Amino acid sequence: MRRGSLRRRSMTEQFSVATSEREVFVEITREVQEAVTASGVGEGVCHVYVPHTTAAVTVNERADPDVPEDILGMLHTLVPHKAGYRHIEGNADAHIKATLVGVSETIPVSGGRLALGRWQGVFFCEFDGPRRRQVAVTVTA
């Protein structure tokens, strides 16, 4: 092969998300798509990973802002902030919520675009803010 003709098979980019509330969903679909575009991958997979123990990432409805609020409300009901946890830092609920939601998502890439459903978006989930967090996006052909 000639020099310069090798195509990248995988690329990882990182970006930060700043939150201003203790618990909030922040839509990051645009930032994730920008990483896919920058990778030059037309067909493959996009892996979104949050390297934190009190934050998560999810794919869910982005058309109605009540959906993320409903999810947060139910998580708060299932895992209240103060419930006699033993974790000394006082954020055990955030660790549990991050475990329930998960720290990664894998999304197909087709035609250089995230292959999300019509109503879907990618959300960073903050459970122990406000903070500045990192999101890693790996795109593989």
CB atoms within 10 A of CB 139: 27
Using an 8 Å Cβ cutoff, are 63 and 55 in contact?
no
Tell me the C-alpha distance between 127 and 55, whole Å: 6
* pTM of the shown model: 0.92
Q: State residue 10's pLDDT score.
A: 87
Spell out where 33-89 has E strands: 43-49, 55-61
Q: What is the mean pLDDT of each run of 10 residues along the chain (141 residues)?
A: 53 97 97 97 97 98 96 97 92 98 98 97 98 98 95
Q: State residue 3's pLDDT score.
A: 42
Q: State residue 7's pLDDT score.
A: 56
Tell me the C-alpha distance between 62 and 23, whole Å: 17
Helix (H, G, I), strand (E, B) or coil at 104: strand
